[in-house]
Amino acid sequence: FFQKTLTAVKNWFTLFGWSNGQNPISIPYSLRCGVCKVQITSSQNKVFKQNLGKDTKTLHDMIFHLSGQLLPGITSSRSVPLDPVEQLYRQHSALLAFLKNQGAYLPHVMPEFLLEPDDYKKWIKMQTVLKVGGVKNSDIFSDTHLFILEDSIFETMSKRAWTDVLLQIYKVFVLRRLSSRSITDTSSLERVQNMPRIKTEPLSSNVYSSYERTILTWLNKNYEKNRKTVWKDCQKGEVPPMRWIVNFDQNLLDGLVLATQLAAYCPYLIATHFVRMYPNPRTSEQFLHNCLILVNAMHAVSLAIDIKV
């Protein structure tokens, strides 16, 4: 499940996360490396700036593209002063603080988890020396618990941390653009289906945000509006029954809900694709059959998303 989530996140941000077109990313490698550093030679103590190239895009470019805001405390220059590990730690701390102020939920992500492995080792070494020496007033001293992770565990933790950061970026900067006003008369769904509507008030759920619940309302509306139209001539069974869509995993497994969303905007797909679906699937083979047809329908309308079953 986590690998599928990571793949979906990588594909979306590759396609839509940047200005001026696509920018392939890998998680966490390109995100960790997309920050200019300073290298200091021990012999001559000279500072060299890593040349990323003028066309190289960083995480800060992504944030600016999606939010229109620059990270506070981060200059537009990619040159980094002395002590690169300290500077990187500060940048990641500023990023997490900025996202949390926008509504992101990242209590489990520490700034050091976003560092590269070698920088993480240097950070741990610096923190250990400071703690042993009893230094409490250093700019880079952390009062939080020190997580000393082995290499393989750190890579797993870093991949998870970066994935969660991107998911929260999507939540606070992309889902935020949704408005309940774009869904006409959400209360009509309650009258038609004789079931409670999805409430979008901020405190009505501790699982989904108000933006995610707006999407659930949209799914319910299109499913109930189109299910009888899409499968009225289906040869594989009767019209699927009414359902209340309250999550994004179990309720979407059979492909029917997503098919009605496509049918709402591309009704010509009904005769060519959706009429061949099982409207009441019961076996895993029938679920797979429906999902394959759904993927083919998405490809038919050239949705630029790498979808695999």
- List pLDDT tens digits, range 119-136: 899 988 888 877 665 555
Residue 51: per-residue pLDDT: 43
Same domain, yes or no, for 225 and 121?
A: no
Domain that includes residue 58, residue range: 1-38+50-133+144-177
Same domain, yes or no, for 187 and 262?
A: yes
- Indicate whether 209 belongs to any domain: yes
Same domain, yes or no, for 55 and 67?
A: yes
Q: Which residue has the tokens 């709402």?
A: 264
What's the token pair of residue 250?
A: 């179990």
Number of domains in the chain: 2
- Indicate whether 286 belongs to any domain: yes
pTM (global) more than 0.75:
no
Same domain, yes or no, for 158 and 228?
A: no
Same domain, yes or no, for 76 and 22?
A: yes
What's the token pair of residue 279?
A: 């409207």
Lowest mean pLDDT among 24-33, 169-178, 254-263, 300-309: 300-309
- Indicate whether 45 belongs to any domain: no
Residue 32: per-residue pLDDT: 82
| pLDDT tens-place string over residues 272-291 | 999 999 999 999 999 999 99
| pLDDT tens-place string over residues 76-95 | 444 445 578 888 888 888 89
How many CB atoms are closer than 10 A to CB 79? 11
Cβ neighbours of residue 172 closer than 8 Å, sequence gap 6 or more = 99, 102, 103, 104
Report residue 16: phi and psi, to 5°.
-125, 0
Q: Is 100 helix (H, G, I), strand (E, B) or coil?
A: helix
Spatial distance between the Cα atoms of 154 and 116, rounded to a whole number of angstroms: 9
Q: Are 120 and 93 in contact (CB under 8 A)?
A: no
What mean pLDDT is reported for the chain? 78
pLDDT beyond 50 at 187: no
Same domain, yes or no, for 184 and 173?
A: no
